[in-house]
Chains A and B, each alone.
Chain A
Amino acid sequence: MIRRLLISKWTKVAVFLLCLAPAGLLVFRTFTARLGANPIETITHTTGDWTIWFLLITLSITPLRKLASQPDLIRFRRMMGLWAFFYACLHFLTLIVFDHFFDVQSILADVYKRPFITVGFLAFVLMIPLAITSTKGMIRRLGKKWQLLHRLVYLTAALGVVHYYWLVKSDVTLPLRYGAILAFLLACRVAFWWQSRHAASEALRKRDTARAT
C-alpha cells in the first residue's frame, strides 16, 4: 500500500506542489501586505529557513529508507535536493536585489568581510555542481564519482547551520535545533557505515573459517 503510494505519479505531483507552497505563500503574503513591518527581512529569513529544511529533508531520505524499509523513498531525494537549491537561489537573490541592488562590489565585500555571509555563500556555491549533475545522464556519465561528488551536500548543510548560528545575536535556540537534527542524520550514516563494515568483516570471517575446516 505505502509502496504503491510512493511510486504513484500523482504522489510526486502532490509533493511537488507541497514543496512549492512556501514560495507561493510568500507571494501571497507579499501581495496582501502580510509580511510584517520588515518584508524584505521576512523574505530573507523564510527562504533561508526553507533552504535548511529542504536540506534536512533530503538528508533524511537515506536513513528513512533503511529504518522504515521503504527503498522507494529514493524517488524523492533528487526533488528535495533541487527544492533546497531553489529556496537557496531565492534567498541569495533577495540579498543581491534588495540588500545590494546588483552592486557586485558591495556583494563581494560582504562575502569577504562577514564570516556568516562567507559560509552561507560557500554553502550556496557548493550546491551549484550538485544541481547541475542531478540529471540522469550526468549520474550515468559520472558513475562512481557522482556519489563522491554528492557527498558535498553534508558540507553544504553543515555550513548552512553555521551560517545561521553566526547570524543570530544571542538566542541560538533555532540554529542549535537545526544543528541537532543534522548531527542526528549524519550520525545515522556513520552507524550504517559501521554496521555494513562490521557485516562485511563478519562475512569474511565466516568464509575463512568455512575454508579452514
Chain B
Amino acid sequence: MLIGKPKALPYSLVTSKADYLNRRRFLSTVLAGGTAAAIGGRLAVPEAYAQSGRKLSGLTKSPFSTTEKMNSFEDITTYNNYYEFGTGKDEPAVYAKNFKTTPWTVSLEGEVTQPKTLDMDAIMKLAPLEERIYRHRCVEGWSIVVPWIGFSLSALLKQVVPTAKAKYISFETYFDTKQMPKWRSAGIQLPYVEGLRMDEAMHPLTLLGVGLYGQVLPNQNGAPLRLVVPWKYGFKSIKSIVKIKFVEKQPPTTWNIAISNEYGFYSNVNPKVDHPRWTQAKERRLGEVFRRDTLMFNGYDQVASLYAGMDLKKNY
C-alpha cells in the first residue's frame, strides 16, 4: 500500500476570512435574535441595528437618486473623515471597529412643546426606508457617490412640535473618550456639533441616513444614524447623532469654531467660492485620475431657492 502525504487543501476550498467572519457574525446575530425572540416573543431583532453588516430590506427607490456610477463599498468604508477615530482617512475603519452603537437613543429637545427621546427601534419605523444614491463632496476637494439608506430628516423632526422660536436645528455627535481612542489628536473641539436652518433641515433632500449599500451604516460611516445633506460640504453631514435641538439662534458648528474663515455655517458646495487654502472649482471623484468640475450646490439645483437673495460669498 502506498502511503502518501495527504494532498494540501486547494485554495478554492478554504473559507475566505471575510466569509468566515461573516459566518460568525451571522451566527451571533441569529443567536442574539433568537434569544430576544424567545424573551420578547417576536421575531424582529431588537437593538441589533448597529450590528455591522446587518442587511436592510424592503427598500424603496428614490427619485432623488443620481444615475452616476456608485463608488465601491470598499471605497466608501475605508476613506472616511471621522476624527474621533483618527485623522487618517483609513483610520476610522480600524479604530471604530468596536464602537458600541446599541442601545442608542436620540433626544429631540430645545424649542419644542414636548421633548422626546426615541430609540433606534422607534426611529427605524418612522418612515419607509429608501435607497438614495447621492453625490457627496468633501471640502477637501474629493467626492464620492454613495447609495445611502434612510428617509427624509423631516420625518424625525415632525415627531415633536416646535415652538414659534425654533429657527434652527443643532445636532450633536455621541462622544466617549473611552470608545473613541483617537479623540486627542483630532485637533477639533468635541463633541462634534453641526447645525442647519429650519428650512434646510425640513427639505426633502436632507436625509437621515441609517445605512448604505443595503446594510446598516458601518461604524466608520457614522453608525447608527447620521445626517446626509448632499448640497453641502461633507462635514455638515454629522455622524452618530445623539442629540437634536431646536434653537432660536444660529448654532455653533465644530469646524467653524476651529477655523472660522475657512468653514462657514452654510458651507454649500460652491465652485466659485474657494477655500482660502485650496480651490473648490474642481474635485477628484474617487476612482478617477483627473479632477472634474465641481457643480453649484453639488448639482442639487432644487435647493437654490432656499438661498434666494443671499450673498453666498459672504455666507460661505
Contacts and interface: CB of A to CB of B under 8 A. Distances in A.
A208 interface: no
B261 interface: no
A172 B277 contact: no
B192 to A, nearest CB: 12
A170 B83 contact: yes
A145 B290 CA distance: 44
B279 interface: yes
A114 B277 CA distance: 5
A166 B275 CA distance: 13
Given A114-B277, A166-B277, A171-B83, A40 B284 contact: yes
B87 A171 contact: yes
A115 B278 CA distance: 9
A146 to B, nearest CB: 37
Contact of B140 (A37, A110, A169, A172): A169
Contact of A101 (B74, B185, B259, B290): B290
A38 B287 CA distance: 7
Contact of A37 (B89, B188, B277, B289): B89
Nearest to B291: A99
Nearest to B79: A37
Contacts of B279: 110, 113-114
A99 B291 CA distance: 6
A171 B185 contact: yes
B74 A170 contact: no
B277 A171 contact: no
Interface residues of A, number: 20
Given A36-B79, A172-B187, A167 B277 contact: yes
Interface string A114-140: 111000000000000000000000000
A37 B74 contact: yes
B198 interface: no
Contacts of A38: 79, 89, 142, 284, 286
Interface of A: 36-38, 40-41, 98-99, 101, 110, 113-116, 166-167, 169-173
22 contacts: A36-B78, A36-B90, A38-B79, A38-B142, A38-B284, A98-B290, A98-B291, A99-B291, A113-B274, A113-B279, A114-B277, A114-B279, A115-B277, A116-B277, A167-B277, A169-B87, A170-B83, A170-B87, A171-B83, A171-B87, A171-B185, A171-B187
Given A98-B290, A166-B277, 15 more contacts: A36-B79, A37-B71, A37-B75, A37-B89, A38-B79, A38-B286, A41-B142, A99-B291, A115-B277, A167-B277, A169-B259, A170-B186, A170-B259, A171-B186, A171-B187
